[in-house]
Homo-oligomer: A and B are copies of this chain.
């Protein structure tokens, strides 16, 4: 199950950081949907590495090759498979990971689980590179959802202690959000964005890294989507979001902040707005009992600081069975939050599409 997500549509991600290719198969897409390949590529470019000084210098075009499921760029009902060939691997950088696990990476846990047979190069199947095929699937899901009036937007809501302006959870401005997601640094408040960038650059210059949060809003979901118990919108979104490397938390609507409020403050009261039932506030993030209430679906995701840092760290040697020091070489993002923004959108789009 580990690399397959969904019930009605099945998104199956494969590949390792340095395997011949990475890719995705999407089973269950309706037939007759034309995919705008250029738009998809633009979406993928938002995630692609090598774009700026905040991300790894590994250069990959991340251009998917569709080997099945499309006829004239239109879905034909058969499973859609897209490959992205890996071209810019530097496997030599990873030789000693087999012996000395990087702190807070999956090196040690993979070593135990796979008994030394895991592909260590570039983090193997655990690499953030696997979010590229996730974004292929998510970019396609976004296009399908938009045809149904549903849109998904994310922004960097914080880097370390620097916070972006708050999203309007009740009436998010879609024009503004469309501009935000296409900024090189996707925030509402560019002054805050500048501070965030400085924070990242400073961390990098100190051979260190930082984390942050990504906020996501899904507009246009009508009331009645989702299910109670274990198949609600929150369950569905969280179970795919935790498939993105470095995610350590998720909250919907007010989330953890709602625990600081009285019920009378946190409850979202209903009223009629032109024959439509809406709420005055959106503290629940558009979800009640696992089911959408017609308000925007809002959630926030916590990304830990990139575990790969250039600073010397303590670790152990499996072979020598003793403590040792480790200096990580190679090309790494000092902050993965920026590139995670489209990944969060992709994951959310897949989750919602699977529920429709």
Give the interface of A toward B (CB within 8 A).
Answer: 1-5, 7, 10, 12-16, 19-23, 25, 27-28, 31-32, 65-69, 71, 74-81, 83, 101, 103-106, 108-110, 112-119, 124-126, 130, 158, 160-161, 203, 206, 208-213, 223-224, 226-232, 234-236, 238-240, 242-243, 245, 247-256, 258-272, 275, 277, 279-280, 283-285, 288-294, 302-309, 311, 313-316, 321-323
Q: A12, B27: Cβ atoms under 8 Å?
A: yes
> Which chain B residues lie closer than 8 Å to A116 at the CB level?
32
> Which chain B residues lie closer than 8 Å to A203 at the CB level?
262-263
> Which chain B residues lie closer than 8 Å to A280 at the CB level?
314
Q: B68, A291: Cβ atoms under 8 Å?
A: no
Please, could you name 11 A-B residue pairs with CB atoms under 8 Å apart, sorted by A?
A: A3-B229, A14-B27, A20-B67, A71-B117, A109-B224, A110-B291, A113-B291, A209-B263, A248-B251, A262-B305, A272-B321
Cβ-neighbour of A235 out of B234, B239, B249 (below 8 A): B239
> Which chain B residues lie closer than 8 Å to A316 at the CB level?
270-272, 277
Query: For residue A130, which residue of chain B has the nearest CB?
Result: B229
CA distance A270 to B15 in the complex (A): 28
Query: Shortest CB–CB separation between residue A288 and chain B, in angstroms?
Result: 5
This chain: copies in complex: 4
Q: A31, B118: Cβ atoms under 8 Å?
A: yes
Q: B213, A256: Cβ atoms under 8 Å?
A: yes
A79-B125, A104-B268, A250-B251 given; name 10 further pairs at CB < 8 Å: A10-B12, A16-B68, A31-B113, A106-B288, A109-B224, A213-B256, A230-B239, A263-B308, A266-B305, A267-B309
Q: B32, A115: Cβ atoms under 8 Å?
A: yes
What's the dominant secondary structure at chain A's contact region? mixed
Query: Shortest CB–CB separation between residue A75 and chain B, in angstroms?
Result: 7
Query: For residue A13, which residue of chain B has the nearest CB?
Result: B229
> Which chain B residues lie closer than 8 Å to A271 at the CB level?
314, 316, 323
Cβ-neighbour of A1 out of B75, B126, B230, B303 (below 8 A): B230
Q: A262, B76: Cβ atoms under 8 Å?
A: no
Q: A263, B307: Cβ atoms under 8 Å?
A: yes
> Which chain B residues lie closer than 8 Å to A253 at the CB level?
248
> Which chain B residues lie closer than 8 Å to A212 at the CB level?
259
CA distance A21 to B25 in the complex (A): 13
Query: Shortest 4 CB-CB distances between A and B: which pairs?
Result: A106-B289, A249-B251, A209-B263, A78-B125
Find the residue from A69, A240, A249 having the highest chain B CB count within 10 A.
A249
Query: For residue A286, which residue of chain B has the nearest CB?
Result: B109
Q: A263, B27: Cβ atoms under 8 Å?
A: no
Q: B211, A113: Cβ atoms under 8 Å?
A: no
Q: B252, A249: Cβ atoms under 8 Å?
A: yes
Q: A23, B289: Cβ atoms under 8 Å?
A: no
